[in-house]
Amino acid sequence: MLRVITVERHEPSAAASVVTAADMIAGHVGLDISCLDPFTKEQRRVSVFYVYIFDEQMGPGFIKICTYFPYPVKAWINGHE
């Protein structure tokens, strides 16, 4: 599922668009508590929001916001994390 919300602004620095998508994220999953290690790491599909931005001084970039606890956020500006 990919949904794009476009924001049109005539200012030099503005949000270009907001995109919702489903990404594969590595997360911990609980197993049987009788095991020595009751948790294992597995790939799960979660919803994420991408906010694509453009700034005159910093250049293009995006902010990725995950919709699962603890709600991690990544910011990429001009190709740098």
Q: What's the helix, strand, coil split of the chain in %, to 5?
A: 0, 65, 35
Stretch (H or E) spanning 74: strand 73-77
Rounded average pLDDT over 70-75: 88
Please say if the pLDDT value at position 4 is more than 70. no
**Which pLDDT does position 39 carry in this prediction?**
76
User: What is the reported pLDDT for 64?
Assistant: 92
Per-residue pLDDT at 3 exceeds 70: no
Over residues 18-41, the mean pLDDT reads: 78
Q: Give me the mean pLDDT over the 27-54 stretch.
A: 79
Residue 49: predicted pLDDT: 92
Q: Is 33 exposed, middle or buried (0-12, 13-18, 19+ CB in 10 A)?
A: exposed
